[in-house]
Amino acid sequence: MSAPFLYRAWVLASRCLIPFAASAEARKLHGQDVPAARAGEKRGIATLPRQTDGKLVWVHAASVGESLSVLALITRMGIMLPDAQFLITSGTATSAKLVAQRLPPRSVHQFAPLDAPGPLKRFLSHWRPDAAIFVESEIWPQMLRRTHATGAPMALVNARMSDKTVDFWEKWPRTARYLFDVFTLILTQNDAMARNMIRMHAPADRVSRGVNLKSMAGPLPVDDKALARVTAALDGRPVWVASSTHEGEERTVLATHRKLLRDLPDLCLILAPRHPERGDAIEALAHDAGLTVQRRSRGDAPGGQVYLADTLGELGLWYSLSDVVFLGGSLLPIGGHNPFEVAQSGAAVLSGNHVAAFAETYAQLETEGAARIVADGEDLTARVLSLLTNPQERATMTAAASRFIAAQDDQLDAIASRLITTLKLDTP
């Protein structure tokens, strides 16, 4: 199949834009305290050797959620392929930091090369992947076609595209077929996405419904020493957690906490915003609400009414402290956030009703009794109070969460085996 005009235009544009894009990426990484040498990875300059003469499996994910979602799959594939090495690439400094904390055996991380001829040529020449797995919505045209040209079998897993993306590719059938034809297998998160992939002109005979890999990622990491210190500071106080909150939601959460203090005067709220850099503004909101605040970023121990967990990579710690978690991004039309991480910690999940990004998952969690959707602040107050004061209700929800996660994990072996076979990793 010859390259369509839209693809050729993007190749030409990328040649012109690469100096500016590389410079912008380097500045961004430098501002996030990434070592200068690693900025070269964006230009395809590897900072690690290819450590095996055997099979190398490249797994590419965009950011934090996508990267963490695939770690359990890599671990399982690694057990089945004891001589293989795994290369994980992503685009953000945060994802690099969190992946580094949870790297599976025989795995390394690099920043993904920019989608331009030079970076991709250097990257592919160095790593020589025997197979490539792309995660969710990573449709970089040259990355796909140049990897395909090496002869490496390719798969798209956990496929999830926005309605806007689906509509775009539906209107460009020739280019869409040119890109999606590279995949030997496309595993989607659900039936609706499988239908959408076919609407986008992906080969119908290569599209299958899989499962949401985020349900199999395993519990978030917990620093045992930090847990011991925080637990000692709380000294047996009741705790509830509001995590991944966005601007406009903290005011509701803080108002809820004030009301809860009437019945539970010793209650501590651990508030972990989606964007920790908003810590100053959130602290001001808490003070305006008449609440005392300590902040994780200042090294404070939780001693007041609100503990502002304005750091990255510690959600597992906060989830381990309470069986009651409200997950933000849901009181406003943001789309919701990953409920699997909460359920994997064994906690009851509370959420607002704006959960379009995880609608199917929340429906299943609600049906099985592991989650509750709240309508507004008043409803949130009632639900949290009921769970904190009714041990049996809380135990019922947490047990349902544990059963839900156990059922998802049963499917991981089947997906790993299918990928190994389809990508010909089980052949000499």
pLDDT(389) > 80: yes
Closest-CA residue to 416 (of 55, 71, 66, 67): 71
Give the pLDDT confidence score for residue 375 in this predicted structure: 95
DSSP letter, residue 46 = -
**What is the location of CATH 3.40.50.11720 in the chain?**
5-211+411-422
Distance CA 270, CA 292 (A): 12
Contact 129, 99 (CB under 8 A): no
Q: Where is pLDDT greater, at 68 or 276? A: 276
Mean pLDDT value of segment 57-65: 87
Tokens 């409200």 found at: 326
Residue 51 CB neighbours (<10 A): 11
What are the tens digits of pLDDT across the range 104-132?
Answer: 999 999 999 999 999 999 999 999 999 99
pLDDT at 428 over 80: no
As separate numbers, helices (DSSP H) first and strands (DSSP E) second, the chain gives 19, 14
Rounded CA separation 356/423 (Å): 32
Would you say 380 and 358 are in contact if contact means Cβ atoms under 8 Å apart? no
> How far apart (Å, rounded) are the C-alpha atoms in residues 208 and 381?
42
- Average pLDDT estimate for 258-267: 98
Average pLDDT over every residue of 247-256: 98
Phi, psi of 412 (to 5 degrees): -65, -40
Query: Within a 10 A sphere around the Cβ of 145, how many other Cβ atoms?
Result: 17
State whether residue 322 is helix, strand or coil. coil
Tell me 271's DSSP state.
E
14: left (phi over 0), alpha (psi -120 to 50) or beta: alpha
Query: Into which CATH architecture does domain 224-409 fall?
Result: 3-Layer(aba) Sandwich (3.40)
With bands split at pLDDT 50, 70 and 90, how would you rate the model's confidence at 417? Answer: very high
**Residue 356's pLDDT band (cuts 50, 70, 90):** confident
CA 374, CA 419: separation in Å to the nearest integer? 39
313: alpha, beta or left? (left if phi > 0; alpha if psi -120 to 50)? left
For every residue of 373-394, DSSP letters joined together read: E--SHHHHHHHHHHHHH-HHHH
Asked if pLDDT for residue 63 goes beyond 80, the answer is no
- Asked whether the predicted pLDDT for residue 424 surpasses 80, the reply is yes
User: Over 80: is that where the pLDDT of 427 sits?
Assistant: yes
pLDDT of residue 3: 92
The answer for 346, left when phi > 0, alpha when psi is -120 to 50, beta otherwise, is left
pLDDT band at 1 (very low <50, low <70, confident <90, very high): confident
Give the residue numbers marked as catalytic: 66
The pairing of beta strand 56-60 with beta strand 85-90: parallel
Residue ranges of the chain that CATH labels 3.40.50.2000: 224-409
Within 10 A of 135 (CB to CB), how many other CB atoms are there?
25
Cross-strand pairs, 134: 60, 156
Angle between helices 359-367 and 391-409 (to 10 degrees): 120
Q: Can you list the positions of beta strands (E) in 216-332?
A: 239-245, 268-273, 293-295, 306-308, 324-327
Place 406 in a pLDDT band, splitting at 50, 70 and 90: confident
pLDDT higher for 65 or 162? 162
161: tokens are 């595209």
pLDDT bucket at 358, cuts 50 / 70 / 90: confident
> What backbone phi and psi angles, to 5 degrees, belong to 72?
-65, -35
**Which CATH code, of 3.40.50.11720, 3.30.2130.10, 3.40.50.300, 3.40.980.10, is assigned to 5-211+411-422?**
3.40.50.11720
